Amino acid sequence: MIGFVSPQSGALAGFASGDNFVVDRIRKAAAYTGGFTAGGKKYDVQIVIKDTQSDPNRASQVARELILQNHADLIVTSSTPETTNPVATVCEAQGVPCVSTVVPWEAWYFARQADPAKPTPFTYTTMFFFGVDQFGGCFVPMWERVSTDKVVAGMFPNDADGNAFRGAWPDIIEKAGYTWVDGGAYTDGTTDYSSMIAKFRREKCEIFINAPIPPDFNTMWKQAAQQGFKPKLATVAKVLLFPADTEALGDLVNNIATDSWWGPYMPYKSSLTGETAKDLADAYQAASGKQWLQTLGSTYSLFEIAQKALTAVSDPHDHKAVAAELQKMNYAGISGPLDFTKGPVPGVAIQSPVGVQWKKGTNFPYEMVVVDNSLNKAVPIGGDLQATNA
């Protein structure tokens, strides 16, 4: 049995809005409908979905339910540390294999350590995504193409993502020849960002970076427009990753840049069916009437990995054996090549994102356009980088 945990309701629900579509598609794939063969024996495959309601405490609770009540052989989980970290922590403690995604690796790895300064590799928990170095490799080349005074404003909350970014970004910024201005470690759910905005204006910040939860960014960005903070280039993380995020901001979203780790422009294919990234995106749009979103590929890859790990062992109920397969996983699928042996730490596979901007679209109000492929030359450029604010 494979358990799947994601935030299908609550503040983080945008991350999971395509999850049920992907799971339905996986269940219909021949590799799953025919069952898994391991050690010469065939096993039926069951997938049980759990909603965290965007609550870390509930994430822990449903992970325990999957282990103790459903007897999960493997748990996969996606979307922000608030989801992945408590699930992975429960799995590590219970000795159940787990794969996480859509979480910066630093926020997943170091935040779960008893002593982050002396980290210890995990045995049962692995993940794939990328980290602050890749954000830097994605964002800095875009900064370099816009004429600014090289002062960077950072909006980072006092949470796992915010603290990971706050710890890592200053070094990247200084090495690139920019000046760092920290807006302060605010609490998630803050409603008044006037003092932060005033600081950014006072320091004449013309570049903006962040890693808030989506509702907080919407509030801050609207206040910034009202109070005259209009950076020449906004390169945002954790927000504006999905089409639904653009609706709340309207034209304020135009030419905001972010990272893209998956999309129909990626030249990758499923290891289960051979369908392309574009096929998956098109199928979602046809079935839902909604615009594709990046987590389609991430969720799909979780089940590619599950299939590979559970069929590589002689007994899929052997948690240690399955966990060992995850640690040495190296394959190519709909999210591209994923090598869990390369690091930066054991059990972490790194993706290479591209820089995109939200621009007025043809089929939808706003669409992601690839404007920088410095980290992933396999992805074609789709348009010109433009300043967020002139």
Summarised one tens digit per residue, pLDDT across range 38-80 is 999 999 999 999 999 999 999 999 999 999 999 999 999 999 9
Q: What is the mean pLDDT of residues 302-311?
A: 98
Q: Residue 199: which domain range?
A: 133-260+354-372
Same-domain check for residues 256 and 283: no
Same-domain check for residues 254 and 363: yes
Name the CA radius of gyration of the chain, rounded: 20
Give the total residue count for the chain.
Answer: 390
Phi-psi region of 147 (alpha: psi -120 to 50; beta: other; left: phi over 0): beta
Same-domain check for residues 229 and 365: yes
Asked if residue 237 belongs to a domain, the reply is: yes
| Nearest Cα residue to 84 out of 164, 178, 4, 181 | 4
Same-domain check for residues 121 and 192: no
CATH of the domain at 143: 3.40.50.2300
362: Cβ contacts below 8 Å, ≥ 6 apart:
none
Contact 244, 265 (CB under 8 A): no
Angle between helices 295-311 and 19-28 (to 10 degrees): 40
For residue 272, which amino acid is it?
A: L
* % of the chain exceeding 70 in pLDDT: 100
Q: What is the mean pLDDT of residues 358-382?
A: 96
Which residue has 């054996």 as its token pair?
Answer: 321
How far, in Å, CA of 324 to CA of 86, rounded? 21
Which residue has 């999960």 as its token pair?
Answer: 72
Contact 345, 119 (CB under 8 A): yes
How far, in Å, CA of 65 to CA of 331, rounded? 30
How far, in Å, CA of 193 to CA of 211, rounded? 15
Asked if residue 379 belongs to a domain, the reply is: no
pLDDT value at residue 241: 86
> Which pair of tokens denotes residue 354?
């591209």
Q: How many whole angstroms from its chain centre is CA 21? A: 18
How far, in Å, CA of 31 to CA of 229, rounded? 52
Same-domain check for residues 91 and 37: yes
Total count of domains within the chain = 2
Asked if residue 333 belongs to a domain, the reply is: yes
Same-domain check for residues 157 and 213: yes
DSSP state at residue 228: T
Same-domain check for residues 152 and 205: yes
Burial string for 175-184 (b: 16+ CB within 10 Å, else e) reads eeebebbebe
Above 90 in pLDDT, residue 390? no
Same-domain check for residues 313 and 199: no
pLDDT band per the 50, 70, 90 thresholds, residue 161: confident
> Which pair of tokens denotes residue 250?
């309207």
* Dihedral of alpha carbons 17, 22, 27, 28, sign: positive
Asked if residue 378 belongs to a domain, the reply is: no
280: Cβ contacts below 8 Å, ≥ 6 apart:
25, 264, 270, 292, 296, 297, 300, 334
Asked if residue 377 belongs to a domain, the reply is: no
How far, in Å, CA of 5 to CA of 124, rounded? 16
Asked if residue 49 belongs to a domain, the reply is: yes
pLDDT band per the 50, 70, 90 thresholds, residue 21: very high
Same-domain check for residues 35 and 11: yes
pLDDT value at residue 371: 98
Whole-model pTM?
0.92
Give 89-140 pLDDT, tens digit per residue: 999 999 999 999 999 999 899 999 989 889 999 999 999 999 989 999 999 9
Contact 281, 335 (CB under 8 A): no
Same-domain check for residues 180 and 79: no
Asked if residue 110 belongs to a domain, the reply is: yes
> Which pair of tokens denotes residue 312?
């590589």
Same-domain check for residues 183 and 304: no
How far, in Å, CA of 218 to CA of 8, rounded? 20
Above 90 in pLDDT, residue 389? yes
Asked if residue 256 belongs to a domain, the reply is: yes
Same-domain check for residues 253 and 281: no
Taking each continuous run of H as one helix and of E as one strand, the counts in the chain are 13, 17
Contact 182, 127 (CB under 8 A): no
| Nearest Cα residue to 74 out of 298, 296, 274, 304 | 304
**Pairing verdict, β 233-236 and 207-210:** parallel
> Which pair of tokens denotes residue 98?
């787990």
Contact 50, 3 (CB under 8 A): yes
Contact 208, 232 (CB under 8 A): no
pLDDT value at residue 95: 98
Q: What is the mean pLDDT of residues 169-176?
A: 95
